[in-house]
Chain A
């Protein structure tokens, strides 16, 4: 470790103003700050700097994503063995999944970071660290069989039009990872919906057991077919689905890490879940069709609801900033997610659209919360004067 630090210090002057590689300054800076906490200090006034900066924050989120990712890799292999009627060991399944998943992660990072570096270089900014998490989230919310070039196009679209257009990390209105998913969802619907795509190799149909459907519980319900997958299977994640979202247990572990370190907002997670439960209970009251009768717990463990609530809705940039606003934001988000699911068979997974929709409204919610606060204090001040 020491040697690396020394090496960085040695080559650093080359990248500073007047150095040989002056133009690559932002690239060097990105690598250096990724490896070590920057030593930058402020000189004027009193500034308290938290030792945890943006890159460290992102690393924690990455760690929180690990349980879901590792389980996802195993599940890819497990679902594949199920579909061809074999029973493989844990390790074999995991290996199969890892071989399938790692290229997706690599493509997402290479394309996304490549574009980030180009923009940073061109604009003379520091390289934004936001993509560390987005780059991991993007493959995790994709079906396993998504073609690599499609993933690359979607990632490029998400980084350019979801982020760079607005000015880079911290300025984006929408969650970039969800933009990537929404892009594929609308641009290449055949690769993002249906019941064949969620299991590796099922679209080719080679050696698939007779009668094996591959439909997800959510997909079944979306077409109003009663699904009888057990709660435990859905909770532990032995179901087909996007790579990272099947195991609710793994997601809850991630949520625990995020809440414990104070990086993910528990307010948003809690209120999103409450919103979802609230809407499901209303549907239960009407119970006009089978889908409306599904109980709240099942709705929560189906599809990407929890994954969205924990990792997507809590995105510190695109969510509401005020505490009160976070409750409102999450609650409406949960309501919309369940509503889109149940009412619109064309969009079985409402979570993606609900989060993108609420991202648009987050600044508005904040605005009114702040305004209300100002008015309240003005009133109080007036009272005090009188």
Chain B
């Protein structure tokens, strides 16, 4: 009898259930296109790919570790002040990430400007803490954080890829559209650099995703 229970409780680190936490945010539960969280930073930092990747990594790290820490503390946090506690954890992590960026990739950190600091107010973080970390075990919460960070990063990378390619003719800062194109009359699309096109690009991704996966369409 007692053996039975212990078998039930032990779950391998990468069981199907846990892998789902990791994969879900890529499609059915993407933080940007399905939950529509963290849109502002997605629009602001996706002009070029390099800052977008750095931003995605920062968000992933902060989400994962804040999820982990809050999940460890979840039974000790008084419900009435939980938001404050969550914010303190997030803010501490964001400051660490910000300092790291300033130390190692200064120019990218300058481009990201306030948006690293604004990770604190990124809805994905609060959303995951409230919805997941407060009610789940540390390891699952950590995976959920990584998954959501990756899902967020995926959209950022896709959007910034198109914006940098069409807006500057470059990918990761390297010229990919040949000079002969420009001589033949090709012009970079100035609108891709403006925030509205980021919104439209995200909208297009949502459109494609929903026409492929009809379950997502609200009745």
Contacts and interface: CB of A to CB of B under 8 A. Distances in A.
Interface string B80-117: 00000000000000000000000000000000000000
**Residue from A161, A186, A188, A190 having most chain B Cβ neighbours under 10 A:** A186
A165 B194 contact: no
A150 B184 CA distance: 13
Contact of A188 (B187, B194, B203, B207): B187
B192 interface: yes
B200 A188 contact: no
A187 B200 CA distance: 14
A147 B189 contact: no
Contacts of B203: 165
B191 A186 contact: yes
Given A161-B200, A165-B207, A186 B185 contact: no
Contacts of B186: 149
Nearest to B200: A161
A149 B185 contact: yes
B190 A187 contact: yes
**Residue from A147, A186, A187 having most chain B Cβ neighbours under 10 A:** A187
Contacts of A188: 187, 189-190
Contacts of B192: 187
Nearest to A150: B187
A191 interface: yes
A153 B185 CA distance: 14
Interface string A167-205: 000000000000000010011111100000000000000
Nearest to A148: B185
A196 to B, nearest CB: 15
B190 A186 contact: yes
Q: How large is the interface on B (under 10, 10 to 19, 20 to 34, 35 or more residues)?
A: 10 to 19
Contacts of A183: 191
Q: How large is the interface on A (under 10, 10 to 19, 20 to 34, 35 or more residues)?
A: 10 to 19
Interface string B197-219: 00010010001000000000000
Nearest to A191: B187
Q: Identify whether the interface residues of B are mostly helix, strand, loop, or mixed.
A: helix
A165 B203 CA distance: 10
Contacts of A150: 187
**Residue from B186, B189, B200 having most chain A Cβ neighbours under 10 A:** B189
Nearest to A186: B191
Contacts of A191: 187
Contacts of B190: 186-189
Contacts of B200: 161
B189 A187 contact: yes
Nearest to A123: B211
Contacts of A161: 200
A375 to B, nearest CB: 32
B203 to A, nearest CB: 8
Given A147-B185, A150-B187, A161-B200, A186 B194 contact: yes
A190 to B, nearest CB: 7
A161 B202 CA distance: 13
Contacts of B191: 183, 186-187
Contacts of B189: 153, 187-188
A31 to B, nearest CB: 27
A190 B187 CA distance: 9
Contacts of A189: 190
Interface in A112-157: 147, 149-150, 153
Contacts of A149: 185-186
B218 to A, nearest CB: 16
B152 to A, nearest CB: 24
A340 B125 CA distance: 41
B48 to A, nearest CB: 18
A189 B190 CA distance: 8
A187 B186 CA distance: 12
Contacts of B207: 165
Contacts of B187: 150, 188, 190-191
Contacts of B185: 147, 149
A150 B187 CA distance: 9
A191 B191 CA distance: 13
Interface string A320-362: 0000000000000000000000000000000000000000000
A150 B190 CA distance: 12
Nearest to B194: A186
B130 to A, nearest CB: 32
A181 to B, nearest CB: 12
A161 B199 CA distance: 12
Given A147-B185, A186-B191, 15 more contacts: A149-B185, A153-B189, A161-B200, A165-B207, A186-B190, A186-B194, A187-B189, A187-B190, A187-B191, A187-B192, A188-B187, A188-B189, A188-B190, A189-B190, A191-B187
Interface of A: 147, 149-150, 153, 161, 165, 183, 186-191
20 contacts: A149-B186, A150-B187, A153-B189, A161-B200, A165-B203, A165-B207, A183-B191, A186-B190, A186-B191, A186-B194, A187-B189, A187-B190, A187-B191, A187-B192, A188-B187, A188-B189, A188-B190, A189-B190, A190-B187, A191-B187
The 7 closest A-B CB pairs, nearest first, are A187-B191, A186-B191, A187-B189, A187-B190, A188-B187, A147-B185, A161-B200
